Amino acid sequence: MYECLRFPAIPLQGPKSKLWSSARMDFKCCVVSVSNVIPAAPIYLPEGPWTQIPGGVTAAQGFKAAGIYGGLRAKGDKPDLALVTCDVDATSAGSFTTNVVAAAPVLYCKNALNISETARAVLINAGQANAATGDAGYQDVIECVNAVAKLLKMGPEEVLIESTGVIGHRIKKGALLESLPKLVNSLSSSVQGADSAAVAITTTDLVTKSVAVESQVGGKTITIGGMAKGSGMIHPNMATMLGVITTDAVVTSDVWRKMVQVAVNRSFNQITVDGDTSTNDTVVALASGLSGSPRISSLESDEAMQLQACLDAVRGI
């Protein structure tokens, strides 16, 4: 179910944007019914050079997602294991916690992104943060990544991982590894695939957070989607915030990484709740390039400004 409610226009006091000339901004409240386990958050996006569409992380071409219950949560049977994949090598970017006690998944992802400019999968578990777990926790990450890579028939360097949950607890590796075949078999490019993943990454969240928009870049339609979780401890600098962003725009690695950092600085890093920094903050962004849009290689180009505007809109989750 996908609903949009339009709110009255609000006069803007600042200068007109280069991207659109209207001095008024309409807001839409869009509600996506995700599951009977946890409701979806209403998403408020400003009017701009984009159209909001259903689909979340699977809206862009080339992406699939799934979320299942894998027995990782301490109680209940809410989905707790998610996977987002890309059919091709996707240009990758990431933003992470500034906490000196970074969790094992954060350390792994930082290293992976330093080694390679592309990735094809993101595994996310809820239940155990795998933070302050030492070498054993890092080895758990390696084993989980290798298992995902084997099932997806890709290199382990193409798989990234995010974790959220109780600090000091290692991943329930046995349960996770046993659940991976079902998770991979559940992958879907449908809205339902994106919705199930958005549920699976939540912990104490009261709602899921998922959104997608499409726009025109160089005469081609491009799509950006995203999902995020975060509840309590979400300041400073993204604390306890996980996110995955997907797009089918064609963009170079250096430009994409700068754009993602700008979007994170304007959104996740502005949220304040209790002044703590999480060990697990992670936002991973993948660009498949399957839209066939013009290649964006300069931050100063009109195409880059358009993509940044759409990326900033998606940050509204």
240 appears as a binding residue in the annotation? yes
Looking at 164, 240, 247, 277, which residue is catalytic? Answer: 240
Q: Any catalytic annotation for residue 240?
A: yes
CA–CA separation, 118 vs 136, rounded Å?
A: 27
Q: Please, are residues 203 and 71 in contact by the beta-carbon 8 Å criterion?
A: no
203 appears as a binding residue in the annotation? yes
* Buried b / exposed e along 54-67 (16+ C-beta atoms within 10 A): bbbbbbbbbbbbbb
Q: Please, are residues 125 and 176 in contact by the beta-carbon 8 Å criterion?
A: yes
- C-alpha distances out from residue 19 to 44, 61, 218, 255, Å: 19, 24, 13, 19
Q: Please, are residues 248 and 91 in contact by the beta-carbon 8 Å criterion?
A: no
CA atoms within 13 A on the CB side of 64: 13
Please state at what angle helix 253-266 crosses helix 302-314, rounded to 10 degrees.
40
Name the β-bridge partners of 123. Answer: 83, 161
**Residue numbering of the annotated binding site for substrate:** 203, 229, 240
List the catalytic residues. 240
**Residue numbering of the annotated binding site:** 203, 229, 240
